[in-house]
Amino acid sequence: MFLNRRTPELPTPEQALRGRPVPEFTVPSRHTVLGNPLVGPYPEGLEVADFALGCFWGAERKFWQTEGVWTTLVGYQGGYTENPTYEETCSGLTGHTEAVRVVFDPSVVTYEELLKLFWESHDPTQGFRQGNDVGTQYRSAIHTHSPAQAAAAEASREAYQKVLTASGHREITTEILPAQDRPFWPAEAYHQQYLDKNPGGYCGIGGTGVSCPIGVAPAGG
């Protein structure tokens, strides 16, 4: 199936599409499942985490089904084009990956527990693809919002690599980058909570079957 495909390549900032100063579309005001606003500012005490793990339709559902998650929002992140569209991102000329913004209550679900869900919900060794979905927009990434998140993400990648290697899997290709360096651009309205609106819709998310040793220690342990 992939024999005639060119290997995807990320554009340089100079090669990337220029984008636009304002988006071409508006984002719905509220989450269709959780009922909370999609776009901030968010209530005090909540935290934000950004994950990319393949097609964002299925990835978003993984997180909105998690207790302690207040809202989720799908979008484009990690590239250079300002206010990109879905078609532009799929062209491979923006440098973005399909991402999910997760707003969560850390008193209910920890960032480490979200990392565990992230690692176990996809195959982070596949580079510019996830299953049958091929392209730079499907690469695995974590965009962190604090030094604590960055340290936790790096530690989880190291821990998961050990168990993946022991299970015969390849090297993790997941990018870990500061969110402030690569803005998150919300996706079009029809992508938001897509699998709630289309329960029988496509979901290409699937893990390796290898458990991640993150977020499993007892509280205070």
Looking at the annotation, which residues are catalytic? 55
H-helix or E-strand spanning residue 143: strand 141-144
d(CA 203, CA 71) in angstroms, rounded, equals: 20
d(CA 48, CA 94) in angstroms, rounded, equals: 23
Token pair for residue 40? Answer: 């901030």
**What backbone phi and psi angles, to 5 degrees, belong to 180?**
-65, -20
Q: Tell me the CA distances in angstroms from 71 to 11, 182, 183, 192, one per residue in order.
A: 31, 21, 18, 11
